[in-house]
Amino acid sequence: MAIKSFTPPQRTLMGPGPSDVSPRVLEALARPTIGHLDPAFVGMMDEMKQLLQYAFRTKNELTFPVSAPGSAGMETCFVNLLEPGDKVIVCQNGVFGGRMKENVERCGGTAVMVEDEWGKVVDPNKVEEALKANPDAKFLAFVHAETSTGVQSDAKTLVELAHQYDCLAIVDAVTSLGGTPVEVDAWGIDAIYSGTQKCLSAPPGLSPVSFSDRAAEVIKNRKTKVQSWFLDLSLVMGYWGPGAKRAYHHTAPINNLYGLHESLVILQEEGIENAWQRHAFHHQALKAGLEAMGLSLLVNEADRLPQLNAVVIPEGVDDAAVRGRLLQDFNLEIGAGLGTLAGKVWRIGLMGHACNANNVEYCLQSLDQVLGDMGAIEKGVAVAAAQTVLKSAA
């Protein structure tokens, strides 16, 4: 059988990522491929670093996109900073804190776990107790925006605690960057990583990272080789470092970088504070609609991520059946729960380009139809409740 060109269906992506990609970014991806050492491309790389510094709110020189998804950004931070025998306080209140623990152990370090209930923030009091009990700890690692639960921890307070006890702070901002305040310099974050497929509205495949001068000194003064050749910053920065002359390290994903560049230009045009406000506003509209139909959100209001909403599945409702019908009948993707929350919540994303009034209304209309047919909700009230919020901005 002759295999023909693949044409994907047109979906509305309102899960935990990837999110909808702006048509401008899709157009950028289709621009002519040039060499990864071409002077024109090198000029774009310098712009990319400036745009990422804008998104991270930092002046860190060591700010660039890793040529792989967010998980590689995580690994870049850990393998470059940790050496065998290092002790790390690792906070876990969802799936991704557990991945931090994996990274610590694979680097030959010791992870001291601070665990909180899924759907709750990282407790600063528990963190301080762990830091006091482990004065030899070198790092504190935590997830700012836990994608598995939709909870946002207090990064500023946690970083302050790390520094108070002479630790560097490693922060996961995969779901927060571009959607909720991330202040690298103002909060004093030492190492941070994110992903392109969430609130930046670019395709998956790149991981923005940034390292403080303090973190760069730790990397510079390592006594052992970095565990990963590909992610070794002493080599990577020969390619991404300052100056027009770049050393070959790997063939960069050229067209993907075009896409990220365009998405960051869009962010700059909107203004990052305006992007934060847009995510918060449309979250309120979605929340109003969900609550009108009788659904509740997992996370306390003060701790919620506006761009990732964990919705409690009503008693007796088949999780997979609902998501399957949304995808089949409405071309709408929402996410399932992970780990201990599997089958208990849906994860509805309002990220980047997907965070708009049309998507809020479409998601609520679709859920209203599917859950209404099952007799699981009060039908026909959700969209009106959301529109009341949306009209308040007019």
Token pair belonging to 393:
């901005």
Q: Are 307 and 179 in contact (CB under 8 A)?
A: yes
User: Measured in whole angstroms, how far is the alpha carbon of residue 337 from the centre of its chain?
Assistant: 16
229 and 340 co-located in one domain: no
Does residue 328 form part of some domain? yes
Backbone angles phi, psi at 112, to 5 degrees: -100, 115
95 and 227 co-located in one domain: yes
* Gap between the Cα atoms of 239 and 250, Å rounded: 8
pTM: 0.96
374 and 324 co-located in one domain: yes
Residue that finishes a domain, picked among 268, 290, 317: 268
Does residue 14 form part of some domain? no
Does residue 11 form part of some domain? no
Starting at the earlier edge strand, list the strands of the sheet with 191-193.
62-66, 207-211, 191-193, 168-172, 139-143, 87-92, 110-115
Instruction: Identify the pLDDT of residue 244.
Output: 59
Does residue 184 form part of some domain? yes
In 42-153, the DSSP E strands lie at: 62-66, 87-92, 110-115, 139-143, 145-146, 151-152
pLDDT tens string 1-26: 899 999 999 999 999 999 999 999 99
Orientation of helix 357-373 relative to helix 272-292, angle to 10°: 20
298 and 230 co-located in one domain: no
221 and 117 co-located in one domain: yes
260 and 278 co-located in one domain: no
Q: How many domains in the chain?
A: 2
DSSP 297: B
254 and 278 co-located in one domain: no
Name residues of the chain where pLDDT drops below 50.
none
Q: Are 227 and 81 in contact (CB under 8 A)?
A: no
Instruction: Identify the pLDDT of residue 13.
Output: 98
Q: What is the DSSP string of 139-181?
A: EEEEESEETTTTEE--HHHHHHHHHHTT-EEEEE-TTTTTTS-
Instruction: Identify the pLDDT of residue 86.
Output: 98
Q: Under DSSP, is residue 332 helix (H, G, I), strand (E, B) or coil?
A: strand
How many Cβ atoms sit within 10 Å of the Cβ of residue 139? 26
Does residue 10 form part of some domain? no
Q: What is the CATH number of the domain that holds 205?
A: 3.40.640.10
Residue 124 falls in which region: left (phi positive, over 0), alpha (psi -120 to 50) or beta:
alpha
Q: Are 69 and 91 in contact (CB under 8 A)?
A: no
Q: Under DSSP, is residue 109 helix (H, G, I), strand (E, B) or coil?
A: coil
Instruction: Identify the pLDDT of residue 394.
Output: 64
Report which secondary-structure segment, H or E, holds 75: helix 70-81
Does residue 37 form part of some domain? yes
Q: What is the CATH number of the domain that holds 370?
A: 3.90.1150.10
* Gap between the Cα atoms of 350 and 316, Å rounded: 26
DSSP 85: T
Residue that finishes a domain, picked among 222, 243, 268: 268
* Gap between the Cα atoms of 348 and 360, Å rounded: 10
Does residue 278 form part of some domain? yes
Does residue 7 form part of some domain? no
Residue that finishes a domain, picked among 205, 236, 268: 268
222 and 121 co-located in one domain: yes
pLDDT tens string 93-136: 999 999 999 999 999 999 999 999 999 999 999 999 999 999 99
Domain that holds residue 125: 23-268
One-letter amino acid at 112 equals V
